[in-house]
Amino acid sequence: MQFPRFGGWWKSGRPRHLLYARVRAGCHRLLRLSTCSGLMASGLLVALTSAVQADARFPEGRLPPIDAPASAYGKDVRAGPGGHPNADDLAGIAERQRQKGHPGVALQLAERVLMYAPSNPQALKTKISSLSNLGAYRRADQLRRRHQPGWPDEVSARFRADKAMSAIHNGIFEQARHQRRHRYAQDDIALVQALKKLNANLDAFAVGSEARRRTRFDRLVVLRQLRRFDEVISAYEALRRASVTLPAYAKAPVADAYLARQRPEEAAALYRQVLDADSSAPLAVKTGYYYALIESEDYAGAKRQLARLNARVPTWRYRKNQTASPIPNWERSEIDRLRVRDAGYRHHEALAFKRATVLYRAAPRNTDIINALATTERSRGWYRQAQATIELAKAYSPHDKATRLNIAENAQALEAFPRWQTTSKALAEEFPSDSAVRRNRLEWLDRQHFSIEGQGSFGRSHGGSAVNGSQDGDYQLRLNSPWSAGGYRIYAEQSYQWGDYDEGVERHSRQSLGVERQWLRRHWWAALSGEPLNEDLGLDLGWSQWVGDHWQYQLRTQTQSPETPLRAERADLDGRLYQTQLTWRQHESRDATLTLSALDISDGNLRRDVSVELAQRVQASAHHQTRLIGSLSAEHNRDVDADYYNPEHQRTAGITLEHDWLTWRRYERALTQNLSLGAASEWESGFGGAPGYEVSYGHTWQLTRTWSINYGIGWESHAYAGEREKRWYGQFGFEGVL
């Protein structure tokens, strides 16, 4: 049997770390772009429109006592009748305070004037305008209709814009209310009506007017809440072309839109501008900035932003008195769950699980935390454990979107295909614009397409020809049919091997046709294979099953096995393979495999192998992962007269270091560099011990969500039958969905 290569990172067609669940996938990160941030958007709309510097006349918004003389308001305020400040002077100060962005102070001053001068027109106008600025649009409109002051057209337009903003606030709160009750089909109705009012105002307001410009800003907020991200970006870019400067509250929805459309660098710049304008911006802006940095692959910047959030967001909001229970800060829960996700993005799955477990123990009925815990369990490969956790979230909140998406993703991992199909379909119909839902649905639809995969290698050896010959090569191509509803599919394979030996070139080609089924982490297959112009048919039968989250066993038998040495094939020999394999997987960082096999060659030789491999991930970060693999193997052959390499006994103890560097990533496209260094102590009966070495380097390109290629080169040196053989080789592989 050919000596096993202890590098072999390409054998799966992708780097090892991609075989595990990728928590970073947009499936969880982009959940924040759903409308669940509606209340935050409403708060942003109010808070940032009034974010200004403190006023020197009234520090911290403190006014003089109500009975204070005119001089207490400033040297420019004259005394009026009855010891009151002059009404016109004080009303003018009130209006200037409002224009400077202090509507609260302006409202108090206007109210004082109206107490002793109830007909003062400026004070009345300032009161109405301040109420509108503070968000009391209905009250302002009632006062305007009652008193009918003589407003200029531009002021009337502003009040109409204020009324539309009231509709926006109502729509956002209605959206949040419906979502809390899982009434997703009704959550956008009020916002759609608000958008109609904004569009009507755009047609009515004069071009270039302040009211029209403000309406265009408010429209960005509504379009974002309706998840019309392309329209948000189009409207924003039209404003930029017109050299219009956006206020901070209008930049946040544009940043969300850029992030949703996978333009994270532009999103990060806008989030940063909002935060620079107001450090007390809502949490949605601060977490949005974090996600934009993550999507931009700026993990160092994201770490700093998360550290700031962790330090500045308290657990408790306030305490009414010393004996009352403190009021919890709901924003702290979001930060704690963000820390769980952050650990997952950096491949620190154990830390993510630990943090999620602590949160769950503190709040065992919080479905957001339960779903976070289930996600970390799935990232560690504990699919059944994750399912039990998800069932708990489902019991508390069966209609919650995040819970249902978690059910779909875990059903995919457990290969519970009927549940995955029905859940993903219902989600896609209800949330067609949600990126995580859409991705999960696309992965289900991939099963309804043909797929193809291939792998090939070419080698050139020097110093010996006991095993590989002076040149050797092989390739395998496989075409898979779509999966049926019951988890069945058929496949066709073409394999080819050749080697250039002293006695000539030996070639071996084989075609096979098979059927397989996968369901509930069980897998069986059966295939017939044969050589061109040869009636000898081979049979390949196999069964594999996971028992729980940690153990897997596999049974396999082959007649006309491709494991038969090429030189034996040249002598018209064939081999029957019997193989069993047991795998233990503790979690994403540690696993072990025991393999027992016997190859019964028709010349009377029985080749028996036993091997054990232990793999330990020793380092992991967002872009780097390192694994250390130790292996032991032993082989025994019967003493027969053979033309192929056939030592009676062979022992090997090896160690391999594998490193994957995710060099570049842009969402579904990525480049990973793979390096493998191996060394072994090899012993062969009759020739003693000798060292063996292998080095390989390659690239894996994820071209799209469904297509990838890999290629690489390698060098190895082993002793066979007392001769040192050095071999250079190259390989290429691909896989994709048609």
Distance CA 375, CA 357 (A): 11
Instruction: Return the pLDDT at 268.
Output: 97
Distance CA 668, CA 27 (A): 12
Q: Give the lowest-confidence range in 479-493, 606-620, 639-653, 691-705.
A: 639-653
> In the beta sheet, which residues pair with residue 327?
318
Distance CA 256, CA 567 (A): 63
Instruction: Return the pLDDT at 501.
Output: 84
Hey, what are 590's tokens? 């540690």
Instruction: Return the pLDDT at 397.
Output: 93
Q: What is the dihedral of CA 360, 361, 366, 369, to 10 degrees?
A: -10
pLDDT band (50, 70, 90) for residue 144: confident
**In the predicted model, is pLDDT for residue 3 greater than 50?**
no
Instruction: Return the pLDDT at 61.
Output: 77
**CATH class of the domain whose range is 21-50+157-299:** mainly alpha
At 568-588, the pLDDT tens digits run 888 888 999 999 999 999 999
Query: In whole numbers, what is the pLDDT of the chain averaged over residues?
Result: 89
At 291-310, the pLDDT tens digits run 999 999 999 999 999 999 99
At 29-62, the pLDDT tens digits run 444 454 444 545 555 555 444 444 556 788 877 8
- Tell me which of 583 and 645 has the higher pLDDT: 583
Q: Name residue 46's amino acid.
A: V
Hey, what are 448's tokens? 């309804």
pLDDT band (50, 70, 90) for residue 27: very low
CA distances from 583 to 100, 220, 524, 550, 615 (A): 70, 54, 17, 8, 11
At 460-501, the pLDDT tens digits run 998 866 677 789 999 999 999 999 989 999 999 999 999 888
At 188-244, the pLDDT tens digits run 899 999 999 999 999 999 888 888 999 999 999 999 999 999 999 999 999 999 999
Q: Do domains 9-20+447-737 and 21-50+157-299 have the same CATH topology?
A: no
Architecture of domain 9-20+447-737: Beta Barrel (2.40)
At 313-353, the pLDDT tens digits run 988 887 767 777 888 888 999 999 999 999 999 999 999 99
pLDDT band (50, 70, 90) for residue 23: very low
- Tell me which of 485 and 255 has the higher pLDDT: 255
Distance CA 205, CA 453 (A): 60
Instruction: Return the pLDDT at 312.
Output: 92
Whether 35 and 227 have beta carbons less than 8 Å apart is answered as: yes
With H, G, I as helix, E, B as strand and everything else as coil, classify residue 133: helix
Instruction: Return the pLDDT at 618.
Output: 97
Instruction: Return the pLDDT at 279.
Output: 83
CB neighbour class for 260 (10 Å; exposed up to 12, middle 13-18, buried from 19)? buried
* Residue of 612, 658, 655, 603 whose CA lies nearest to 634: 612
- Tell me which of 354 and 153 has the higher pLDDT: 354
pLDDT band (50, 70, 90) for residue 8: very low
Task: Report domain extents, the chain.
Answer: 9-20+447-737, 21-50+157-299, 56-133, 328-446
- Tell me which of 357 and 500 has the higher pLDDT: 357
* Residue of 679, 625, 683 whose CA lies nearest to 655: 679
pLDDT band (50, 70, 90) for residue 1: very low
Q: What is the mean pLDDT of residues 134-138?
A: 81
Instruction: Return the pLDDT at 354.
Output: 97
- Tell me which of 32 and 559 has the higher pLDDT: 559
Distance CA 210, CA 216 (A): 10
At 670-696, the pLDDT tens digits run 999 999 999 999 999 989 999 999 999
CB contact set of 225 (below 8 Å; sequence gap of 6+): 35, 38, 41, 171, 172, 175, 191, 253
**In the predicted model, is pLDDT for residue 12 greater than 70?**
no
Q: What is the mean pLDDT of residues 715-720?
A: 94
**CATH class of the domain whose range is 328-446:** mainly alpha
Whether 542 and 521 have beta carbons less than 8 Å apart is answered as: no
Q: What is the mean pLDDT of residues 711-738?
A: 95
**In the predicted model, is pLDDT for residue 21 greater than 60?**
no
- Looking at the chain, the whole-number percentage of residues with pLDDT higher than 70 is 91
CATH number for 56-133: choose from 1.25.40, 2.60.40, 3.30.300, 3.30.950: 1.25.40
